[in-house]
Amino acid sequence: MAGKSDNWSTEAYAAAASFVPKLATKVVSYLAVGENDHILDIGCGDGPLTAQIAASASKGWVLGLDASPNFITTAKSKYTTGNCTFRLQDCTQMKSCAVAINGKWDKVFSNAALHWILRNPDTRTDVFTDIHAALKPNGLFVCEFGGKGNIAEVHAAILSALVQYGVSIDQARESCPWFFPSEKWLHDKLQETGFEVEKVELENRPTKLTPKSADGSAGLQGWIKLMGAEMLKAVDEGLREQVVRSASEILETIITREEDGSQWIGYVRIRAVARKA
Ligand code: BEZ
């Protein structure tokens, strides 16, 4: 999930984004896990959803891949079982992982990871070509991640705060670590890389943040520090806290619900189901 330096920690993720694996009911239902399934999980994070899938594939095998050493260390220690294993792997470079690209997997799954993995336009097509190569003939690819318009208000507020602290708009945009495609983009890319597309859908899913904490590790500030870490690197370390506070202040009234003070941001999910033709 992460780039060259590891921005991820299981503790920070639990404080700011523990809702992510819990909101995966629909995409997991599309995966329709069978007890004998061999499933490759791309961008598995620290592993709770991989472990849940492996519990259903009780006579099969699930392998989770992630580029974050911190996440993979946690996943290995918490969730490794006889049929659930994890491996450190940059998923933009899956050709280097023979166990993944073996043409034998029944299913390839990915939740809340492809918007990071697809950031670099130069490796986007390779990611889908490699997933296709990983699957056995007629194998199924099921994914969910951020779609066009995802977290638009937070994205805009971070860009605006970076500009306020002296970053050019072009540099601010360049610092963005995500790619949120439209339905058409994903449909066309799947077809181009040899899949038969069964479904591509977009869902607006406002998502409640974890409650604010005094130390700023939870709530919106925690979310921006963790998920927006790459963007914050566009300013010197001494300014990052101010950028986070500025973006949070811009959003305060926009994302807060009067009835209970809870804060919600505009997640947009894109889901696809596609078969290796
Ligand atoms: C997402 O899951 O949609 C997401 C998470 C963090 C940053 C951007 C998007």
The amino acid occupying position 111 is N
Which atom of ligand 1 sits closest to the CA of residue 146? 3
Residue 1 pLDDT level (bands cut at 50, 70, 90): very low
Q: Whose CA is nearest to atom 1 of ligand 1?
A: 146
Q: Whose CA is nearest to atom 7 of ligand 1?
A: 227
Q: How far is CA 87 from CA 100, 141, 220, 263, in A?
A: 10, 19, 31, 35
Residues, the chain, total? 277
Q: Whose CA is nearest to atom 5 of ligand 1?
A: 227
| pLDDT surpasses 60 at 132 | yes
Q: What is the pLDDT, as a whole number, of residue 2?
A: 40
Could you report the per-residue pLDDT of 165-205, keeping only the tens digit for each? 999 999 999 999 999 999 999 999 999 999 999 999 999 99
Which atom of ligand 1 sits closest to the CA of residue 269? 3
On whether the CB atoms of residues 264 and 153 are closer than 8 A, the answer is: no
Average pLDDT over residues 88-106: 97
The amino acid occupying position 86 is F
Which of 7, 67, 70 lies closest to 232 in space, CA to CA? 7
Q: What is the pLDDT, as a whole number, of residue 4?
A: 60
Q: What is the DSSP letter of 212?
A: P
Which of 261, 265, 269, 194 lies closest to 227 in space, CA to CA? 265
Q: What is the DSSP letter of 6?
A: -
Q: Is the dihedral of CA 90, 93, 94, 99 positive or negative?
A: negative
**H or E segment and range at residue 88:** strand 84-88
Residue pointed to by tokens 């904490």: 213
Pocket mutation for ligand 1, best pick of 23, 119, 210, 267 (most atoms within 8 Å of C-beta): 267
Q: Is the CB of 132 under 6 A from ligand 1?
A: no
Q: From start to end of the chain, where are the E strands?
A: 38-42, 61-66, 84-88, 105-111, 135-146, 195-208, 264-276
CA of 227 to the centre of ligand 1 (A): 7
Average pLDDT over residues 122-128: 98
Q: How far apart are CA 165 and CA 239, in angstroms?
A: 8
Which atom of ligand 1 sits closest to the CA of residue 178? 8
Q: How far is CA 182 from CA 29, 146, 147, in A?
A: 22, 9, 6
On whether the CB atoms of residues 89 and 150 are closer than 8 A, the answer is: no
| pLDDT surpasses 80 at 19 | no
Token digits for 174?
Answer: 């360049």
Count of other CB atoms within 10 angstroms of residue 5 = 8
Average pLDDT over residues 131-160: 98
